[in-house]
Structure 1
Amino acid sequence: IHQGLKAQELALLAVTAIHLDKGQVAVRGTATTNSRELPLQGSQVQVLQRYLEQDRPQLLGESGSDQLLVGMRGKPMQTEDIVKHVLRTYKGRYGDRQISTGTIRQSVIANLLKAGHDISVVQYYAGHKYPSSTERYKQADFSVLRQMVGKYHPLR
């Protein structure tokens, strides 16, 4: 979630893309995104290590798949499976707000920009092929704008 990957990118991740020793994940590009290497948080490294050493082998059983995410029967998870899982996991946690893999990705990108990261860094992080794709995530801080309008608008 912290990397803001698309569901399709998650579905394409292979076990070999996870570099626990370096704390990184190598994300394959798609038709709309570039390949990139992204940092993992310490908690993510721990969860992935447990998954790779304990949970994934049990799920795989006799089947052999190099895809990172496998379902209960040991078969690789498809993009649709990942979307359904995210929706089930986060449904109701944010009140009436609709949560999707797309809104999570958009939130990650917008928060990186809001935190002051250079647009080229955020573009790489998001895998955007064009700077204009990243620029559309720049958001005005509406709370500040609202305060300014309230303070300086002639009809206040």
Structure 2
Amino acid sequence: MAMEILSQRTLPTPLELIAEQSGADRWFLPTGSLIVQQGDPVRAIFAVERGLVSLDGPNIASASRCRSGDLFSYPDLASRHQRHQLAARALTPVQLLRLDRSSFLELIHRHPTLVIELLQQQYGRLRAQRRQSAIAPAPFPFHGTEKEHNAA
């Protein structure tokens, strides 16, 4: 009986955990809004409640999208410089939860399974990026000048 109850119980999602935090701020932003700028210090993590967010970096391979339930900016907390590696921009009107850095670290301390969920999200993004780069056309192999190419 006890095992049945445990197997039926589901763990809260990362979005639900963040929404429960007293320090979480709810942001409503229109399409095109810059949420975080690449290179800025990491002060918080974000969870997408509604809408679509683009994460773009210095090369096209790092571009990805976050949807409802996704978190972003958390990998930057672990970076040596603690700066945003990617810029985040609203592709649609978005509703976000923002949780400051210290509150997020406290949340991880209280709910260590959250780290597993975040690793799964990150792994999914990396897989999607690899699929996208495998589909992208290869660069043109010609290495001469445009004039030499046109003459060939």
TM range, smaller chain: under 0.3
* Higher-helix-fraction structure: 1
Q: Which has the higher contact order (CA 8 A, sep 6+)?
A: 2
More strand by share: 2
What is the TM-score of this pair, normalised by structure 2?
Answer: 0.26
